[in-house]
Amino acid sequence: MKRRDLDPLRDILSLQERMNRLFEESLLRGRELKPANAGAAWTPTVDVYETAEAFILLAELAGVNEDDVIVTVEGDEVRLRGERRLAGPRPESFERLERSSGTFARTFRFEQEVDPDRVTAEFTDGLLRLEVRKAHVPGSRREREE
């Protein structure tokens, strides 16, 4: 029988990540959340909420260079892709290496289309805030009032 090295912190962090996914899925109330890219090395946490005019995404991207993040918006989807690079060369030996690096990908699908021309992004202190405006829907209340 092969002995598995015990790492309680890794086990707790893994459990926390799975719990976060469950909460994230339940909070989106039926909105489809595509899983992260299977080839992704790590998955940043993202809070998503809705206002009357837009969807707001807050992505924790500590250690990610702003130039290494790509945001695409199409139809009812917002995609975040990027890479967190190691600071300097990877050490040959280490006591513990807990910070993940490498590529990431997240895709979010909303219940209505969004306007790709009306997206604002703010990247401050490792937090990316995207405001994705909802697309104008013909026949909406606003159009009827005009």
Which of the two residues, 57 and 91, has the higher pLDDT score?
A: 57
Q: Is-contact 25 35, C-beta < 8 A?
A: no
Q: How far apart are CA 120 and CA 78, in angstroms?
A: 12
Average pLDDT, the chain: 80
Instruction: State the pLDDT at residue 114.
Output: 94
- The predicted model gives 62-66 an average pLDDT of 93
Distance between CA atoms of residues 134 and 145, nearest Å: 18
Q: What is the DSSP string of the chain?
A: -PPPPP-HHHHHHHHHHHHHHHHHHHHTTT--EEPPPTT-S----EEEEE-SSEEEEEEE-TT--GGGEEEEEETTEEEEEEEE--SSSPPSS-S---S--EEEEEEEE-SS-EEEEEEEEEEETTEEEEEEEEPPPTT-HHHHH-
Banded model confidence at residue 137, pLDDT cuts 50, 70, 90: low
For the stretch 38-61, pLDDT in tens is 455 789 999 999 999 999 999 999
Q: Indicate the pTM of the whole model.
A: 0.65
Q: What is the pLDDT of residue 93?
A: 77
All domains in the chain, ordered by first residue = 31-86+101-145 (2.60.40.790)
Average pLDDT for 107-116: 93
Output the pLDDT for position 35: 44
State pLDDT tens for residues 20-41: 767 666 655 444 444 444 455 7
Residues forming a β-bridge with 135: none
Sheet with 77-84: strands ordered across: 33-34, 102-109, 77-84, 69-74
Higher-scoring residue by pLDDT: 79, 10 = 79
- Residue 125 is predicted with a pLDDT of 93
pLDDT at residue 87 is higher than 60: yes
